[in-house]
Amino acid sequence: MMSNESANPFAGDQSSAQRRETTVRWLLRLSTFLIVAVTVSIVAHIFIKGAPITFRKEFPFVNVKFLTELPGTLHVIFDKQGNAIETDVNGADGIKKQLGDNFREEKTISYSGGGILGPIVGTALLVVVSVTIALFLGVCSAIYLSEYASKGKRVEMIRLAILNLAGVPSVVFGLFGLGAFVLTAPVLTDTPHERSLLVIPLLFTKLSFQGWDTCVLSGGFTLAFVILPVIITASEQCLQAVPQGFRETSMALGATRWQTIWRAVLPFATPGILTSSILGIARAAGETAPIMFTAALAFKDKLPWQKDMPPLPADAGMFAHWEQSVQRFLGIFTESVQALPYHIYTLAARIPHNEYSERAQYGSVFVFLVLVASLAATSIWMRRRLRGKYKW
Amino acid sequence: MPATSPSPTPDASFIQVEKFNYAYGDHQVIFDVDLDLHRQDITALIGPSGCGKSTLLRAINRINDLVDIARVVSGHIRIDGVDIYSPEVDVISLRRNIGMVFQKYNPFPRSIFENAVYGLRVAGVKDKQELEEAAERSLKLSALWDEVKDRLHEPATGLSGGQQQRLCIARAVALQPRILLMDEPCAALDPIATARIEDLIAQLRGQFTFVIVTHNMEQAKRIADKTAFFYKGKLVEYDDTMEIFGNPKLKLTEQYVTGRLV
């Protein structure tokens, strides 16, 4: 090597600035990877523990019993060789008799037997009711804020209020729902409850402020208020994203403001509004606190539509049958239900922990995750279809 | 068509702007403008950016009412003698009688047909045949029919820029308005598409009263019968286009039309 070679002016001199640059880059990179790692491990954990309970190796490949039966108490019977036989309350005595002297011990584990159909149905109903209410109210107020209200202090105050609503802890919504919907909301009835706060006699019946009790409707309304801020904010952004030129053109062609919104704004904002409702759906399905006091039960041995109805007389006409069907349908919304998040909470925290309760718990969590993910996927698919139709 | 050709009908005041003052909040943008626009004329409004010409145009069909803080300070705009800012005027029917074409072509992301009949649809026309006839008539009027007649139900956003702007003109003339307002209709178009729009305007001469805002002097010279020059919210000079460009009365006008006004 030549000794008189001059130093390369571009050769790296590990200055402190460069070292700092490298450190910062790695710090940022590691933080990001850490988040990914946590997400992957959560999903993998639930998949590894939950999938074997939900799926089966042989036909029909899913655990039909787990998905189609209501939860029940699990009876585990041990014989003297240490074999465990799982059964429900009806099968326990038969097996004990069969084992005879070989019977050693029987364990009962609450809520961990049977399936989780009740919680699945309950969560689905709560999501449908709450998203319907929240989308209607949310889109209406977003339209008002974005299209009708004149920009100014008042609108800013309303926005601030909505943002604050988003920050309210969910258990507060639960208590609000208990007070407002379970105990106070008005019903039409001929025989008001004695704890009714106010009874207003109407012509043929009475309007009684006695609440709706714990039911799908109370829970749905409560959840609707939880997800309302997300839906309003996102809907308003979607409306704002529609070019102002569409509004001006439409009005210049003699459309009223409402016609303009209906024909030249809302159709083009819908894909975005649907996307924003994904967040709402996932949140509504996942919240536990707001439904604890308003809709959910730890255990219920009936589906919401399995309600005892007085048997119809043999000569009952079409109308009576029809009327009873309608009553049965409406009855769904006035029944309390089980819900997946609350069921998971019950299994994890309210009964002694063991391998059997853990199994039911992870099975529920897995099904819950798949359900929310498929809801989200549906919304994304709908959005992509609509987005393709309306592009500007 | 050269600007020297006589207007098809004799001078008859149609749109009268009287002592018109207009403001956004406290910021006044139009000062004491008096302007008589003649029936069936093509009038160009020229002037540097921010001179109030677009605002005046948008005040004629009251589309500026959409801007919360916009307001008429004083004065009147009369169309056929009717003060359009008087409380008895129905803004919806006013706008139905005045077509408007915007700077940025903006057909709705729907089919070509639906764009052409939008005005009729919001006016409550449901009859399929009537809609189809109106679409054909207005697309023919805007010289677009031959290019789109086989794909009326395809998305309008698939058309070229110039075609989209002609569709916007079709949409505006479908309601058979008497006035067509154009706010820099060629600003977003290439020279060939611009030439086609200018040809179209020349073809439609005499069927509508045109008011066109333009930054393009040559365009004003080519298509306008009359030209009004605005500067800082005031009307400086209003005359036959020939006079404005060939023999301006005021120094300011001469400086502007020769490109020496900064």
> B43-80, pLDDT tens digit by residue?
999 999 889 999 999 999 999 998 888 999 999 999 99
Query: B179 and B99 in contact (C-beta within 8 Å)?
Result: yes
Say what the alpha-carbon torsion angle A260, A262, A266, A270 is, to the nearest 10 degrees. Answer: -160
Q: Could you tell me if A273 and A204 lie in one domain?
A: yes
Q: Looking at the partner chain, which of A252, A256, A389 has a beta carbon nearest the beta carbon of B100?
A: A252
Q: What is the pLDDT of residues A63-107, one digit of tens each?
A: 888 887 888 888 888 888 878 888 887 777 888 888 878 888 888
Nearest CA-CA distance, residue A278 and chain B, Å: 25
Domain count, chain A: 2
Q: Could you tell me if A184 and A244 lie in one domain?
A: yes
Nearest CA-CA distance, residue A390 and chain B, Å: 5
B26 Ramachandran zone, left/alpha/beta (phi>0; psi -120 to 50): alpha
User: Is A48 among the domain residues?
Assistant: no
Query: A294 and A178 in contact (C-beta within 8 Å)?
Result: yes
Q: Which residues in chain B have their CB less than 8 angstroms from residue A391's CB?
A: 109, 155, 157
Q: Which residues in chain A have their CB less than 8 angstroms from residue B92's CB?
A: 254-256
> What is the pLDDT, as a whole number, of residue A71?
84
Superfamily of domain covering B12-92+181-262: P-loop containing nucleotide triphosphate hydrolases (3.40.50.300)
User: Is A323 among the domain residues?
Assistant: no
Q: Looking at the partner chain, which of A249, A256, A390 has a beta carbon nearest the beta carbon of B106?
A: A249
Q: Percentage of chain A with pLDDT > 90?
A: 32
Q: How confident is the model at residue A190 (pLDDT cuts 50, 70, 90)?
A: confident
Nearest CA-CA distance, residue A384 and chain B, Å: 15
Q: Could you tell me if A134 and A266 lie in one domain?
A: yes
Cβ–Cβ gap A246/B168 under 8 Å: no
Place of tokens 């997946």: A340
Q: Could you tell me if A107 and A177 lie in one domain?
A: no
Cβ–Cβ gap A252/B122 under 8 Å: no
Q: Could you tell me if A87 and A135 lie in one domain?
A: no
Q: Could you tell me if A196 and A277 lie in one domain?
A: yes
Cβ–Cβ gap A151/B68 under 8 Å: yes
Q: Which residues in chain B have their CB less than 8 angstroms from residue A264's CB?
A: 108, 118
Interface with A, mutate which of B94, B97, B98, B108 (most A CBs under 10 A): B108
Nearest CA-CA distance, residue A253 and chain B, Å: 5
At residue A137, does pLDDT exceed 90?
yes
At residue B179, does pLDDT exceed 90?
yes
Q: How confident is the model at residue B259 (pLDDT cuts 50, 70, 90)?
A: confident
Q: What is the pLDDT of residues B202-226, one digit of tens each?
A: 999 999 999 999 999 999 999 999 9
Q: Which residues in chain B have their CB less than 8 angstroms from residue A268's CB?
A: 109
User: Is A148 among the domain residues?
Assistant: yes
At residue B12, does pLDDT exceed 70?
no
How far is Cα B68 from Cα A304, in angstroms, rounded to an integer? 51
User: Is A198 among the domain residues?
Assistant: yes
Q: Could you tell me if A93 and A179 lie in one domain?
A: no
Q: Is the backbone peptide bond immediately before A341 cis, with ω within 30 degrees of 0?
A: no
A103 against A130, higher pLDDT: A130
Place of tokens 């729907």: B110
> What is the pLDDT, as a whole number, of residue B262?
62
* Strands ordered across the beta sheet of A186-189: A186-189, A206-209, A199-201
Domain housing A79: 71-114
**Mean pLDDT across chain A:** 86
Cβ–Cβ gap B171/A251 under 8 Å: no
Out of A97, A114, A131, a domain closes at: A114
Q: Looking at the partner chain, which of A246, A248, A268 has a beta carbon nearest the beta carbon of B63?
A: A248
How far is Cα B138 from Cα B117, in angstroms, rounded to an integer? 9
Do β-strands A206-209 and A199-201 pair in parallel, antiparallel, or remain unpaired?
antiparallel
Q: Which helix (H) or strand (E) holds A87?
A: strand A84-87
**CB neighbours of A337 closer than 8 A, spacing ≥ 6?**
A118, A121, A122, A125, A126, A216, A219, A295, A296, A297, A300, A304
pTM for this entry: 0.81
User: Is A165 among the domain residues?
Assistant: yes
Q: How confident is the model at residue B4 (pLDDT cuts 50, 70, 90)?
A: very low
A278 against A29, higher pLDDT: A29
User: Is A287 among the domain residues?
Assistant: yes
Average pLDDT over residues A304-321: 77
Chain B residues contacting A, CB < 8 Å? 61, 63, 66, 68, 92-93, 95-96, 98-100, 102, 104, 106, 108-110, 118-119, 121-123, 155, 157, 168, 171-172, 175
Residue of B nearest to A150 (CA): B68
Cβ–Cβ gap B92/A256 under 8 Å: yes
Cβ–Cβ gap A253/B122 under 8 Å: yes
- A98 touches B at CB < 8 Å: no
Out of A114, A146, A172, a domain closes at: A114
Q: What is the pLDDT of residues A5-40, one digit of tens each?
A: 666 766 666 688 888 999 999 999 999 999 999 999
Nearest CA-CA distance, residue B192 and chain A, Å: 23
The burial class, CB within 10 Å (0-12 / 13-18 / 19+), for B190 is exposed
Q: Looking at the partner chain, which of B92, B121, B157 has a beta carbon nearest the beta carbon of A391?
A: B157
**Mean pLDDT across chain B:** 90
Out of A54, A79, A114, a domain closes at: A114
Q: What's the token pair of residue A6?
A: 């001059």
Average pLDDT over residues B79-92: 92
Average pLDDT over residues B233-261: 91
> What is the pLDDT, as a whole number, of residue A390?
67
Do β-strands B98-101 and B179-183 pair in parallel, antiparallel, or remain unpaired?
parallel
Nearest CA-CA distance, residue B156 and chain A, Å: 10
> What is the pLDDT, as a whole number, of residue B7?
43
Do β-strands B42-46 and B226-231 pair in parallel, antiparallel, or remain unpaired?
parallel
Angle between helices A16-54 and A355-389 (to 10 degrees): 110
Average pLDDT over residues B173-184: 94
Nearest CA-CA distance, residue A281 and chain B, Å: 29
Q: Which residues in chain A have their CB less than 8 angstroms from residue B114's CB?
A: none
Residue B212: strand, helix, or coil = strand
Interface with B, mutate which of A156, A249, A260 (most B CBs under 10 A): A249
Q: Could you tell me if A94 and A128 lie in one domain?
A: no
Cβ–Cβ gap A254/B100 under 8 Å: no
| Angle at CA of residue A23, ends A22 and A29, nearest 5° | 90
CATH number at residue A179: 1.10.3720.10
How far is Cα A202 from Cα A189, in angstroms, rounded to an integer? 10
Query: Any idea where the domains of chain B sit in the sequence?
Result: 12-92+181-262, 98-176
Q: Which residues in chain B have their CB less than 8 angstroms from residue A256's CB?
A: 92, 122
Q: Which helix (H) or strand (E) holds B163?
A: helix B161-173
Q: Looking at the partner chain, which of A249, A264, A268 has a beta carbon nearest the beta carbon of B102?
A: A249
The number of angstroms, rounded, from the C-alpha of A234 to the middle of its chain's C-alpha atoms is 18
Q: Looking at the partner chain, which of B99, B106, B122 has a beta carbon nearest the beta carbon of A255?
A: B122
Q: Could you tell me if A109 and A185 lie in one domain?
A: no
User: Is A59 among the domain residues?
Assistant: no
Q: Which stretch of A130-139, A234-243, A249-258, A366-375 has the lowest confidence by average pLDDT?
A: A366-375
Residue of A nearest to B180 (CA): A252
Cβ–Cβ gap A253/B168 under 8 Å: no
Phi, psi dihedral angles at A154 (to 5 degrees):
-60, -45
> What is the pLDDT, as a whole number, of residue B77?
94
Q: Could you tell me if A198 and A109 lie in one domain?
A: no
Q: Which stretch of A182-191, A301-310, B147-156 has the lowest confidence by average pLDDT?
A: A301-310
Cβ–Cβ gap A248/B102 under 8 Å: yes
Q: What's the token pair of residue A93?
A: 């005595």
Nearest CA-CA distance, residue A259 and chain B, Å: 7
At residue A266, does pLDDT exceed 60?
yes
Residue of B nearest to A265 (CA): B108
The burial class, CB within 10 Å (0-12 / 13-18 / 19+), for B94 is middle
What is the DSSP annotation of A233-272?
Answer: HHHHHHHHHS-HHHHHHHHHTT--HHHHIIIIIHHHHHHH
Cβ–Cβ gap A249/B61 under 8 Å: no
> What is the pLDDT, as a whole number, of residue A126?
92
Interface with B, mutate which of A153, A253, A256, A257 (most B CBs under 10 A): A253
Q: Could you tell me if A224 and A286 lie in one domain?
A: yes
How far is Cα A77 from Cα A104, in angstroms, rounded to an integer? 8
At residue B8, does pLDDT exceed 60?
no
Q: Which residues in chain B have their CB less than 8 angstroms from residue A265's CB?
A: none
User: Is A44 among the domain residues?
Assistant: no
Residue environment code for B127-165, b if the CB has 16+ CB neighbours within 10 A, otherwise e: eeeebeebbbbbbebbbbbeebeeebeebbbebeebbbb
Interface of A with B in 259-278 (CB under 8 A): 259, 263-264, 268
Cβ–Cβ gap B104/A245 under 8 Å: yes
How far is Cα A162 from Cα A165, in angstroms, rounded to an integer? 5
Residue of A nearest to B91 (CA): A254
Q: Could you tell me if A172 and A82 lie in one domain?
A: no
Sequence length of chain A is 392
**From the DSSP assignment, how many helices (H) and strands (E) are in chain A?**
14, 6
How far is Cα B108 from Cα B114, in angstroms, rounded to an integer? 8
